[in-house]
Amino acid sequence: MSNDTIVSVEPAPSALLDSASRARPYRMKRYPFLALVLLAPLILFGLFGPQLNLHNPAAIDPANALLPPAFAGGDWQYALGTDHMGRDILSRVIDGARSSLIVALFGVALAGMIGTLVGMMAGFFGGRTDEVLMRLVDIQLAIPPILLAVLLAAVIGGGLTTVVATLTITFWSTYARIVRGETLSLMQRDFIALARVAGASRSRIMFRHVLPNLLSSVVVLATLQLGAAVGLEAALSFLGLGIQPPESAWGLMIADGRLYMSQAWWIPTLPGLAIVMTVMGANMLGDWTRDWLDPGLRRL
């Protein structure tokens, strides 16, 4: 080899400096800023509501009825104005946030647990179990949520329980379907076969191998459903099936304030805005969570 004629010797390329990189300086959204900003009211008010309230949200004060919000000519004492009964709207929005938060979290959590369990069993056991469970899903999907709420309210009256029950029964099927699909595809993977080869029992495989790998899908679904839950809760309260007076709920406020749209627009509009912000924020959080948990998407 030392006899080979060498034509030239070329020095190694020098290192490329970071400053010379042609990569665009765009950075991935590391944190869901906008989503959190939109959700901040819900979370803050939901957690610290009673402490923040200046007025009693249920206090009726006809003398101060229909006062406009501070930015539309009113007083800072009633920052978002008052409704037709003199109740401070800001306080009621804060109080309503509480209800919405509790209801949404409970409803989504319960729906998630039930749905995940059902979906996992359907996918894992297959056969008869799968058929029976999926028929249950089909049955549930055939029931309109509002009708369900009406029926429940007729039986147990309106209120928090009715809303949580409606949410749970309405939302579990989505989890079941998605989890079943994921379970089916996970069962094909080698590590499940090797767990059986190791001697693992079926319950161990279900809870130690399948479930942990489902969690990221379940979490994404849950964050996306939060928005839908808040929306459904608002609809139910609007119809009088949900949170009952004197408790506050955003949907209830819209229902009450409908009649005053032309003379005191703030009464239905401001709670409506709260609902829109929350639902949007929840959806954005859901999107961000999905991107964050999915290592497949390449980002700068």
CB nearer to other proteins: pick between 189 and 258: 189
Binding mask 5-44 for other proteins (x = CB under 8 A): xxxxxxxxx-xx---xxxxx-x-x-x--------------
Binding mask 267-296 for other proteins (x = CB under 8 A): ------------------------------
CB nearer to other proteins: pick between 61 and 291: 291
Binding mask 162-191 for other proteins (x = CB under 8 A): ---------------------------xxx
| Torsion 173-178-179-185 (CA) sign | positive
CB nearer to other proteins: pick between 84 and 196: 196
How many Cβ atoms are within 10 Å of 41's Cβ, its own excluded?
Answer: 16
Binding mask 204-243 for other proteins (x = CB under 8 A): x---xx--xx-x----------------------------
CB nearer to other proteins: pick between 142 and 198: 198
Return the bridge partners of 100, or none. none
Of 127, 128, 197, 203, the one binding other proteins (CB under 8 A) is: 197
CB of 259 within 8 A of CB of 149?
no
Residue 270, Cβ density class (10 Å: 0-12 exposed, 13-18 middle, ≥19 buried) = buried
CB of 226 within 8 A of CB of 103?
no
What separation, in Å, do the N-terminal and C-terminal C-alpha atoms of the chain show?
A: 46
Find the shortest distance in angstroms from Cβ 127 to other proteins. 15
Of 99, 122, 151, 193, the one binding other proteins (CB under 8 A) is: 193
Site size with other proteins, rule: CB under 8 A: 42
Of 34, 70, 200, 276, the one binding other proteins (CB under 8 A) is: 200
Give the interface segment with other proteins, choosing from 42-50, 65-73, 89-97, 192-200 (CB under 8 A): 192-200
Cα separation, 57 vs 30, in Å, equals 38
CB of 229 within 8 A of CB of 170?
no
Find the shortest distance in angstroms from Cβ 206 to other proteins. 13
CA-only gyration radius of the chain, Å:
27
Half-sphere exposure of 13 (CA within 13 A, CB side): 3
Cα separation, 179 vs 167, in Å, equals 18
Residue 127 binds other proteins, judged by CB under 8 A: no
Residue 92 binds other proteins, judged by CB under 8 A: no
Residue of 241, 251, 244, 234 whose CA lies nearest to 155:
241
Residue 90, Cβ density class (10 Å: 0-12 exposed, 13-18 middle, ≥19 buried) = buried
CB nearer to other proteins: pick between 216 and 244: 216
The residue to which tokens 């998407």 are assigned? 297
Q: Which residues bind other proteins (CB under 8 A)?
A: 1, 4-13, 15-16, 20-24, 26, 28, 30, 189-191, 193-201, 204, 208-209, 212-213, 215, 298-300
